[in-house]
Amino acid sequence: MVQRTRLLQCPGCEKQLEDTKQPNITCKYCGHAFNRSDVVLEDEDYIRKKMIVDLRTEMDTFKRWKQVSTGFMVGSFVLTLPVLFSDPFELFQGIMMGLFMVLGIVFFLLVLFFDRKYASSRSKATDLSLRKRL
């Protein structure tokens, strides 16, 4: 496992410093003294907020795909009805009906998939939102 060195940014001169994990840090470039917790919390807060924004964007994508899949599912089942009640019922109509039913089932499964992904992303975003408050 590779150990990565965390870099901190000095609030005085904005140069990158190696994180020594000491509570009080003095910049070796400008001599500015600052608390490590102030800099690290801002960094972690930014990362948490960015993760929440990314998850919400992902949720919007899943929501749109779910809507599109629902539309195609309903359309597939609606196209099955005229074929089912047509007279005389022939082989071509049976094949078309089967095709529309299979497409409807596939889109139904996609709706379930995108619904689960949406719920999972929403749960993660909620957890990240609450983490700051705890």
For the stretch 38-73, pLDDT in tens is 776 555 667 778 888 888 888 888 888 888 888 888
Q: Is residue 27 part of a domain?
A: yes
Lowest mean pLDDT across 33-47, 71-85, 108-122 = 33-47
Instruction: Specify the 3-state DSSP secondary structure of 94.
Output: helix
C-alpha distances out from residue 89 to 45, 92, 95, 101, Å: 65, 8, 11, 16
Using the predicted structure, report yes or no on whether residue 126 has a pLDDT greater than 60: yes
The full length of the chain comes to 134
Give the pLDDT confidence score for residue 125 in this predicted structure.
Answer: 82
Q: Is residue 43 part of a domain?
A: yes
Using the predicted structure, report yes or no on whether residue 2 has a pLDDT greater than 50: no
Range of the domain at 47: 7-133
Q: Is residue 2 part of a domain?
A: no
Using the predicted structure, report yes or no on whether residue 112 has a pLDDT greater than 80: yes
Q: Which residue has the higher pLDDT, 19 or 53?
A: 53
* 77: Cβ contacts below 8 Å, ≥ 6 apart: 100, 101, 104
Q: Give the closest residue to 119 by CA, choosing from 64, 62, 70.
A: 62
Q: What's the average model confidence in pLDDT over 116-129?
A: 84
Report the domain count for the chain.
1
